[in-house]
Amino acid sequence: MNANMRGIRAIYLFEMARFGRTFWTSLLMPVVTTSLYFVVFGSAIGSRMTEVSSVPYGAFIVPGLMMLTMFTESISNASFGIYMPKWTGTIYEMLSAPLSPLEMVVAYVGAAATKSVIIGAIIFATAHLFVDIQVAHPLLMAAFMLLMAVTFCLFGFIIGIWAQSFEQLQVVPLLVVYPLTFLGGAFYSLSMLPPAWQTVTLFNPVVYLISGFRWTFFGQGDVGIGVSMAAVALFLTLCLGVIFWVFRSGYRLKN
């Protein structure tokens, strides 16, 4: 069975056009936010803590800062993208169109992941204005960033289907993802924590994601790269499984 490329392309371009209408706002926000993080964390804290694991502190926080923004952007873009058709009622037209669930997911998640990767690239470029960053494994870094964007866009897609109000769209990013990212070593190394807290922090799944991404930059992380990749693969598989169940059961799509 051939994929409906016209349908995928139509949804993808529609979502990207929505991003284009707010492009300069979307461009300015990560630049300003990144600059503020470097002023606060890089200058204030970096003046007292010059290096972390032989890496300058300003460079050390770049992977965590990129992941922090990409997590929230991926979830927000994907959840809003699928929630709007539900809210307006046009979701029923897509469900009755000659478009398979896989093709719909590819279109929405592909557009959201594209936006997220663009934002990540903007943050990476902005960081170069403040610190000198040498990426040890650039190809693996780009692949990891793309994989993370797709994975969290799938997670956001699930939230968009689950949510029944605009307020619920913000619950998971603000009350779950953001705190877990801050507590997951985005701006510090786990080795800086007391042994008891290191053990507790290892139960935070975001630790493995940030650590793996940081490894692609500096060749070192709080956990091994193999463990990080396994954690990403597990999360990706879980998201795909939930989405398969959603379309199979029609959960909050057909009722």
Residues 122-157: tens digit of each pLDDT: 889 988 888 888 899 999 999 999 999 999 999 999
The structure tokens listed for 167 are 């307020």
Contact 232, 213 (CB under 8 A): no
Report how far apart, in Å, the C-alpha atoms of 103 and of each of 2, 18, 80, 147 are: 11, 20, 18, 18
For residue 70, tell me if it sits in a domain: yes
For residue 191, tell me if it sits in a domain: yes
> Dihedrals φ, ψ of 55, to 5°?
-110, 130
How far apart CA 132 and CA 124 sit, in angstroms, is: 11
User: What would the pLDDT profile of 211-231 be if each residue is shown by its tens digit?
Assistant: 999 999 999 989 988 999 999
Q: Which amino acid is at 64?
A: G
Q: Per DSSP, what are the bridge partners of residue 52?
A: 55
User: What would the pLDDT profile of 179-214 be if each residue is shown by its tens digit?
Assistant: 888 888 888 888 888 889 888 898 998 999 999 999
List of E strands, the chain: 51-52, 55-56
For residue 254, tell me if it sits in a domain: no
How far apart CA 22 and CA 185 sit, in angstroms, is: 31
Q: Report the number of distinct structural domains present in the chain.
A: 1
For residue 255, tell me if it sits in a domain: no
With 0-12 / 13-18 / 19 or more C-beta atoms within 10 angstroms meaning exposed / middle / buried, residue 167 is: exposed
Which domain does 32 fall in, by range? 5-249
pTM (two decimals): 0.91
